[in-house]
Structure 1
Amino acid sequence: MNRIFAIFVLVAAALHRCAADDSDTPAVTCGSAIKITHVKSGAGKYLLFDSEGKNRQGGSGQHLATWLRDDPSNNRAMWWIRPAHHGVDDTEYPTGGDASKHRTCHRAAEEVKCGDTIRLTNMATRRQLHSHQVKSPLSNQQEVSVYEGQDFGDDWVVECVESSGVWRRGETVRLKHVQTGGYLGASPEAEFNERTCGRNCPLMHHLESFTRGGKDHLSEIRAEQGIYLHI
């Protein structure tokens, strides 16, 4: 993982200098590093975030993914778009016998199409956005964590709402967890605060991130600013 991450940083820096897509609605591509917002979370822009906090009420013991209001100084809201898990840790893109069982990208800067399966790795912590059959702490949906390892629990399908072709910045999509079938989401009603988490809550004013079977406005997200690789 460290080797792959180092290679990505070098490639991304080179591509960004000569071929970053700076249009208003660039396509999300494999190798891009982007911020993701929750569409219907009320006033303020909530970003998907590696909280580095844990569920103190039980759960998996992994760090939780949450949603936090946009803060320019925050470096844990940037997510690296990667191909679906294919079981070979030292190879970033699936090739030949290592090909993923899901439709996914096979090279850097390839557009992420509606229906593709991807992974999201946090750029600051190098953990994977992950879900499983574990109850989330506030809403009792399914927990969304940021996982230090790599497995098929990291895979998400991109379901487009405003497009039938390619995932683009600013367009509404949903992320469906492959293993559980739940949709990534949030709700203003599921906030960590003194009432729900205690006075010394380490996740104060974060929104809980969860997956659930419901396919509604709570699961609508958008790609925002970032480095969009384009060749």
Structure 2
Amino acid sequence: MQFSFLNLILIVAFATFKVNCSSDKDVNIIDAVTYGSSIKLQHISSKHRLHSHEVPYGQGSYQQSVTGYPKGDDPNSLWLVKAENGKTYKRGTPVKCGDEIRLEHVSTKRNLHSHNFKSPISSQQEVSCFGDKGVGDSMDNWKLICIPNKHNNDIWNRGAPVMLQHVATKKYLFAHKSNMYNPPLTNQIEVTAFDNADDAENKWKTAEGVYFPIQTAD
């Protein structure tokens, strides 16, 4: 069996999970999510992970589709945490509540994106993946909104509930388990952007991933 360079990276990364990564069972909620980490985001209500793949939408933008995936073992649910479009931060810098960030899909190097197209199931605002080799545009920016809890320290804590607000359109990353795709996307749910800030279906948390430890400034 032949392995690509990406396969090799993922094998090494997953082999280090017990040391560097957190799961639903052993998450340390006080640890910070840092720039440069590759994470999985779990939709709290449905338990699905934010997911993408080389499958374009059949309508709307025709860009790379984004779904919620029911299992935690698929590498297509890994996202690289980056600064907003046009900025960079040192790897290991904690992500602060209120930061504008980008999430780059590790497998395809396209950024989580939204725009004024209708989603295929619910006709809400479409969420897609866009760009080339991590380069996209300002429609890739998402504002991190931390939901108050006893562990808040003005930084994004692993396992803590958060919302992601699309900066340009002010809508929130959303999913609902009733919006289920038919084959070939069996058991996957639609992911959209929704304008109700108080909706419980806007809430996400970090799950599995490769987390870089906090690095102090030089």
Structural mapping, 1:35-54, within 5 Å: 35-41=40-46, 45-54=47-56
The partner residue of 1:192 within 181, 188, 194 is 181
Distance change >3 Å, CA 213–CA 32, structure 1 → 2: same
Does the 8 Å CA contact 1:53/1:202 hold for their aligned counterparts?
no
Backbone CA RMSD of aligned residues: 2.4
d(CA) in 2 for partners of 1:130, 1:229: 24
- Residue type at the aligned position of 2:112: L
Stretch moving more, 201-210 or 215-224:
201-210
The partner residue of 2:145 within 122, 143, 159 is 159
The partner residue of 1:119 within 102, 111, 121 is 102
Distance change >3 Å, CA 21–CA 50, structure 1 → 2: closer
d(CA) in 2 for partners of 1:68, 1:168: 23
Stretch moving more, 138-147 or 47-56:
47-56
Identity %: 34
The total of aligned residue pairs comes to 190
d(CA) in 2 for partners of 1:53, 1:20: 31
Does the 8 Å CA contact 1:135/1:142 hold for their aligned counterparts?
yes
- Residue type at the aligned position of 1:65: V
Q: Structure 1 residue 203: deviation in Å? A: 1.8
| Residue number in structure 1 paired with 2:62 | 61
Q: Structure 1 residue 227: deviation in Å? A: 1.3
Distance change >3 Å, CA 218–CA 21, structure 1 → 2: closer
| Residue number in structure 1 paired with 2:38 | 33
Structural mapping, 1:188-227, within 5 Å: 188-193=177-182, 201-215=183-197, 216-227=199-210
TM-score by length of 1: 0.76
Unaligned runs of 5+ in 1: 1-5, 87-91, 94-105, 194-200
- Residue type at the aligned position of 2:44: V
Are 1:174 and 2:157 counterparts? no
Q: Structure 1 residue 202: deviation in Å? A: 2.7
Q: Structure 1 residue 81: deviation in Å? A: 0.2
| Residue number in structure 1 paired with 2:28 | 24
